[in-house]
Amino acid sequence: MPSEINVGLVGYKFMGKAHSNAYMSVDKFFDCTAKPVMKAVCGRNATAVAEFAQRWGWESAESSWESLVARDDIDLIDIGTPGSTHAEIGIGAAKAGKHVFCEKPLAMNMDESRRILAAVRDAGVKHMVNFNYRRVPAVSLAKQMIDADEIGEIRHARFTYLQDWLVDPMFPMNWRMRAESAGSGAHGDLGAHSIDMARFLVGDLESVVGQKKTFITERPAEGTSSGLSATAGEGTEQVTVDDCSMWLAKFAGGALGTFEATRLAPGRKNFNRFEINGSKGTLVWCFEDMNWLKFYSTECPEHAQGFRRIMATDDCHPYVGNWWPPGHILGYEHGFVHAVYDLLEDIAHDRPCLPDFRDGAQVVAVLEAVDQSMEAGSWANVERVE
């Protein structure tokens, strides 16, 4: 059993920062069988990546992913770049015999997803997709409670992921609003999280029907400061992804679901929420109050039934005992630390990881089915990834 795992990270922006923090923190708070060694970080801008390496304590920097995966002293490749690059890097890493940890979404489409899944399977390496919200303690607790039959047979599931950062029409373009780099808009970016959560908590989706829309079709070109007016056609750029998507689902287990993702809901900052109604109880969670899980049980005495607001910060709750005493709330980045902890333990003990690339591919399959339903104006079946 290894006592150390050498990590090479690709990407040094938002996700690079979140992942670096996880590797830095994990062995301080958790007893890791194998500690991560922050060997190298990789990015195309050599100066910027060198600065990032220095700040975060990465031992070295690389300016191409090919050179990173070619290194003998790397055990695990962590992919924190935009989705359009995941397949290429992931396949390269797998071929080089590295374990692969990949940000969501796994890939841009099913074709890429199948290829990257085949690559990690062929190579026999560990593979995990970072759907970080699974490991928020309140969400992990919800999963435990569902598995323990505390809400019974699931009938309805509602998933909404609402943000508002694009409400201002003067907010300028970036890669997330171009189809070629992002694939889709809110639908893929936020919807992927909801789909993974739905599969985690409710199970596989069978068929879907939906709609999407781009309300703000043109924005100031990238680099333009937000708030500056730009004359249409001059200094503007077309938005080529959706602002929002809404869809319905039938789950394989019989439940019905609604899904919604948008970047145009004023006041919703990171409103990643679910409500699941079972035959004997309900669970509700929202990231904006991420430490709390709401629970209603029909099994309480009748006069005292009500939605319970559980503060998931007690020692008896998943992951929490490693941090602070009860009542000391956790934040966004803690989910990343939990994911990295589980990943490192799975590698050390040679166990399968969850969610793995098959899970990641299955999420892409759902996204594609929704796209098909939108084009067809009717229900579409979800491809089952084996």
CA dihedral sign of residues 105, 111, 112, 113: positive
Nearer to a second copy, 92 or 137 (CB): 137
State how beta strands 4-10 and 76-79 pair. parallel
CA atoms of 57 and 228, how far apart (whole Å): 38
Q: How far is the CB of 93 from a second copy (least distance, A)?
A: 25
Nearer to a second copy, 234 or 303 (CB): 303
* Encoded tokens for 280: 């004997």
Q: How far is the CB of 115 from a second copy (least distance, A)?
A: 31
118 residue type, one letter: A
Q: Is the peptide bond before 105 cis (omega within 30 degrees of 0)?
A: yes
Q: How far is the CB of 272 from a second copy (least distance, A)?
A: 9
Q: Which of 188, 245, 235, 189 lies closest to 215, judged by CA?
A: 245
Question: Distance between alpha carbon 254 and the CA centroid of its chain, in Å?
Answer: 25
Nearer to a second copy, 18 or 123 (CB): 18
Nearer to a second copy, 20 or 113 (CB): 20
Nearer to a second copy, 124 or 303 (CB): 303
Q: Which of 322, 324, 278, 281 lies closest to 305, judged by CA?
A: 281
Burial class (CB in 10 A: 0-12, 13-18, 19+), 169: middle
The angle formed by the CA atoms of residues 380, 185 and 367, to the nearest 5 degrees, is: 25
Q: How far is the CB of 62 from a second copy (least distance, A)?
A: 20
Q: How far is the CB of 257 from a second copy (least distance, A)?
A: 8
Nearer to a second copy, 113 or 297 (CB): 297
Q: How far is the CB of 217 from a second copy (least distance, A)?
A: 12
